[in-house]
Structure 1
């Protein structure tokens, strides 16, 4: 692992921060991207204390030209061995609410879907020319089967899942791996705002460890906890109305994102 170059978006908190710290322990070179300068530099400082080289870039994944420039700058420092398209936001419905604000829906699409494209696209040709590298996209259990309390978020993660699955077949002959990461409930600032039953919840550092080990084994899908992934996959084979009725029995209050559509 020592000396590998790891690029992570959304590196200032949650799973992104945990991945940065875990790879710092392995002696990796880090390119950390995020929007909050203070939090991002704090994470970079923690990584440097562990002996890792850490560069930062303040950039919004919605900014296509900004992301191309940030990824190209990272590539100029060293070839990227693992690129994490991790940045994302969540939004949803409160009990009794039936419509998400259209501005929030468009914002989450721009961040969670276009943001993944903006992260991945600049790395594809450099990795295929080199014949090496891994693209790791962070999806969600919410992308396996739609949940009634978070329609837009589920849609964005389902899109990420399909994108990862499609790219995996395209890039494999060129020596580039694509791994889809499917986390369940991870204790992050984002998940802490959601009021619901959270089976199998784990710390962000536990999640980072699972992801690191899965990538070492070149797993195409890294899903955890496995019991939740298996249950949701099983639900996709059952009659939709039956599953809908079961889902409706679980109460959830998912705060709306503060992000708004850029106009």
Structure 2
């Protein structure tokens, strides 16, 4: 809801100047059906635009104060992942746009950062059936994000072992990257997910 988000942000600004805006829109689907792929791109990119564009408009109009926008991408955005094509591609777009926007907005005094977390407790990870190395609770991830946001870190990627691994994969020759992708387990379909109980999925009680 682009107009709705814009109206809400402008309403918040009217009550008290916005200092920091988090653009956090993300869904992940198991099956790469045409409908699911469209939903993933429309939410992960379109939803991000619905927040970032009005925030930029507000900050450019005001020109003063601590103006910061943080876009939530993902560690999955570091490269093509055959296990989740539309998710990794959409998050890669968010990451690239955020980092490009950071340089573009620097002269205006607007600070932009890309947040690239690994597996963090959320509604998405609660339904994951694939391995989730270096899984992190949401409160710990929040502390990391806020600490680095305070320092105006442009690329907030964590945990570091996942960041190192995905960075390494991103610089591999394509054939090696492709060979590695063949080894990754595919995400479960909705039918497969329904057969797995909440405790097995790691859902909080």
> Do both proteins adopt the same fold according to a TM-score greater than 0.5, normalized to the shorter chain?
yes
Q: How many residues align?
A: 188
Which position in structure 2 is the counterpart of 1:82? 20
| Equivalences for residues 68-147 of structure 1 within 5 A | 68-93=6-31, 100-128=32-60, 129-131=62-64, 132-147=66-81
d(CA) in 1 for partners of 2:188, 2:147: 31
Q: Write out per-residue CA displacement over residues 168-208 of structure 1, whole angstroms, 9 at most, x where no aligned residue.
A: 01111111100110000112221121111211111011110
Q: Secondary structure, in 3 states, of the residue corresponding to 2:171? A: coil
d(CA) in 2 for partners of 1:106, 1:158: 16
d(CA) in 2 for partners of 1:254, 1:219: 35
1:195 aligned onto 2:133:
no
CA distance 1:254–1:158, shift in 2 (3 Å): farther
How big is the shift at 1:126? 2.2
Which position in structure 2 is the counterpart of 1:211? 145
d(CA) in 1 for partners of 2:152, 2:187: 36
Q: Write out per-residue CA displacement over residues 3-56 of structure 1, whole angstroms, 9 at most, x where no aligned residue.
A: xxxxxxxxxxxxxxxxxxxxxxxxxxxxxxxxxxxxxxxxxxxxxxxxxxxxxx
**Greater strand share, 1 or 2?**
1
Q: Secondary structure, in 3 states, of the residue corresponding to 2:115? A: strand
Given that 1:197 and 1:252 are in contact with CA atoms closer than 8 Å, whether structure 2 keeps it comes out as no
Query: Of the candidates 162, 171, 189, which is equivalent to residue 228 of structure 1?
Result: 162
d(CA) in 1 for partners of 2:27, 2:115: 16
Which position in structure 2 is the counterpart of 1:60? none
| Equivalences for residues 171-182 of structure 1 within 5 A | 171-182=105-116
Query: Of the candidates 174, 189, 194, which is equivalent to residue 240 of structure 1?
Result: 174
Given that 1:150 and 1:254 are in contact with CA atoms closer than 8 Å, whether structure 2 keeps it comes out as no
After TM superposition, the score normalised by the length of structure 1 is 0.68
d(CA) in 1 for partners of 2:22, 2:106: 17
How big is the shift at 1:253? 2.4
In structure 1, the gaps of 5 or more residues are 1-62, 94-99, 257-263
Moved over 6 A (4+): none
d(CA) in 2 for partners of 1:92, 1:215: 32
Given that 1:92 and 1:152 are in contact with CA atoms closer than 8 Å, whether structure 2 keeps it comes out as no
Root-mean-square deviation over aligned CA pairs: 1.4
Given that 1:68 and 1:122 are in contact with CA atoms closer than 8 Å, whether structure 2 keeps it comes out as yes
In structure 2, the gaps of 5 or more residues are 191-205
Which position in structure 2 is the counterpart of 1:24? none
CA distance 1:140–1:254, shift in 2 (3 Å): farther
